[in-house]
A and B are shown apart, each in its own frame.
Chain A
Amino acid sequence: MIEFVDVYKYYNTRAVLKGVSMRIERGETFVIIGQSGTGKTVSLRHIAGLVDPDGGDVIIDGVKMNGAKRRVKTALREKMGVLFQSGALINWMTVGDNIALPLVEHRLHPPDEIEKIVAEKLHMLQLTDARDKMPADISGGMRKRAGLARSLVRNPEIILYDEPSSGLDPVMTSVIDQLIRRMQREYNITSVVVTHDMGSAYAIADRIAMLYQGEIIQCGTPDEIRNTENPIVRQFITGSLAGPIPVV
């Protein structure tokens, strides 16, 4: 379970998160939507322990992530996988070596077993032919899928997705959406997804939260969001130019 308790985050003097509280249950797929710069990715980085809040707490399975000792953070991170926006592959390693990296570094399996796990993940994400290619030689979408394969390789309990469908074609977006659903169904994985793509959000979410100017203005099921009366949420999900969200 992931819990935000009155979380504040400032960059210089600008408040990015202003008292965010939310609770994500085990096995839930929780989608965070909102405009650019409203603190969606910052929220993910709080869960990952990559940034600490200036106020409030981020609690993962009953353990406070913020201010935790390195050993505690490492233990919490071992339960997590993250798909970064660009894939974040190490650029001097092949796709296969990138996927194997966490297993090799921590010597979690013998080399032949690592090879088998990598092959399985490559197959799962339709990347078998890219095993020996360098990140610079594959498309943005393939890099993203390789990043996802790497985050899955340690069988995490929680997966954080930062814009999983950005830069992907509609077919590949559906592949990723189905994968997220399958992770939940088969392995009871908790997923926190940051996205702008409302089609994806409706397809995968158990609940959707909308962040606006550092605050959660609505949180509910996809149907509740779809039928919202909140004018800000309504404008955002319909992509309308008319409404309270200023177009800058």
Chain B
Amino acid sequence: MSIKFIHSFFGLFGYVGQRIVDTIELTGYTLVLLLQAGFYTKNVFSKRREILKQMYIAAVKTFFVVSVVALFTGMIVALQTGIEMKAFKQEALIGNVIIATMTREMGPFMTAIILTASVGSAMAAEIGTMTVSEEVDALQMMSISPVKFLVMPRVVAMAIMVPIMTVYTNALGTLGGGVVANYQLQVSWEVYYSHVLESLHFKAVYTGLLKSFIFGLIISGVSCAQGLRATNGALGVGKATREAVVISFLMVLIIGYFITAVFYGKE
């Protein structure tokens, strides 16, 4: 019994240790991949068609879901906060709450989550399929860098499109908040927008955009890394896709917190 316990204890210890080593290795691999993609941005012009295609995928193909999520995020935040504020007769200030929440946190976060689920997962699956079907090997044999050919266009497209989609999410979320403020909290549009403009600080905008830029790098970097490391056929592609989504979610949350802490932690 005790030998069995010791055996399982060391087994657990070994498993945890291996997971830590794997995580460090994957982090290093992803960072190197992003640095290499940065190096290949010198080829942005020659890869403009692929970059535009990836931008199209990130924007147009997620447009509907981003719109719905943005609108309802603003509406939910307005309703939940507005009800509490109304108890203190402060509902007129709902515009300040909505714009601060959307620009600083919810806009970049919700956009990143949607793009991870739709674009990041597709990236991991596409590159993973190319890896297991030897297309990535074929690129290497043609002396074509898979980072230049596959990763760089996706990283550049996401680094551009996540901030753009975030601005759109912020705008639509603010509109959604306004609808609730107007129809459910009886705050007029004029009052709502005067408070929105009052709290629309430059710092909130640029920290939000910086966050979304970094989220774009994280989503594309993690997804491409997972795709390039896929093994074992369809099963491996499924695993790579799942891991890309899970890791991107976690990284968006954790890095998002630290960016907020850096810019707002001492206020």
Contact = CB atoms under 8 A, between A and B. Distances in A.
Interface of A: 45, 48, 50, 74, 77-78, 80-82, 84-86, 88-91, 101-102, 105-106, 147, 150-151, 154
A80 B138 CA distance: 11
B193 interface: no
Interface in B106-141: 130, 133-135, 137-141
B165 to A, nearest CB: 23
B135 A91 contact: yes
A50 B149 CA distance: 18
Contacts of B149: 105
B135 A50 contact: no
Contacts of B144: 101-102, 105-106
B134 A84 contact: yes
B140, B142, B144, B149 — which one has the most chain A CB atoms within 10 A of its CB? B142
Nearest to A106: B143
A88 B140 CA distance: 12
B182 to A, nearest CB: 46
Contacts of B139: 90
Nearest to B133: A86
A80 B134 contact: no
B135 to A, nearest CB: 5
Nearest to B142: A102
A50 B146 CA distance: 13
Contacts of B138: 82, 84, 88-90, 147, 150
A106 B43 CA distance: 12
25 contacts: A48-B137, A77-B141, A77-B142, A78-B143, A81-B141, A84-B134, A84-B138, A85-B134, A86-B133, A86-B134, A88-B134, A88-B137, A90-B130, A90-B139, A91-B130, A101-B142, A101-B144, A102-B142, A102-B143, A105-B142, A105-B144, A106-B143, A150-B138, A150-B142, A151-B141
A85, A105, A150 — which one has the most chain B CB atoms within 10 A of its CB? A105
Nearest to A80: B141
Nearest to B150: A90
A183 to B, nearest CB: 17
Interface in B131-187: 133-135, 137-144, 149
Closest 4 CB pairs of A and B: A88-B138, A102-B142, A88-B134, A84-B134
Per DSSP, are chain A's interface residues mostly helix, strand or loop, or mixed? mixed
Contacts of A48: 137, 141
A80 B143 CA distance: 10
B143 A89 contact: no
A74 B141 contact: no
A60 to B, nearest CB: 13
Given A50-B140, A90-B130, 19 more contacts: A48-B141, A77-B140, A77-B141, A77-B142, A80-B141, A81-B141, A82-B138, A84-B137, A84-B138, A88-B133, A88-B134, A88-B135, A88-B138, A89-B138, A91-B135, A102-B144, A106-B144, A150-B138, A151-B141
A50 B136 CA distance: 10
Nearest to A135: B135
A193 to B, nearest CB: 16
A147 B143 CA distance: 15
Contacts of B133: 86, 88
Contacts of B141: 48, 50, 77, 80-82, 151
Contacts of A106: 143-144
A82 B138 CA distance: 7
Contacts of A78: 143
Nearest to B136: A88
A196 to B, nearest CB: 18
A101 B148 CA distance: 14
A218 B138 CA distance: 30
Interface string B41-73: 000000000000000000000000000000000
Nearest to B135: A88
A202 to B, nearest CB: 27
A147 B130 CA distance: 14
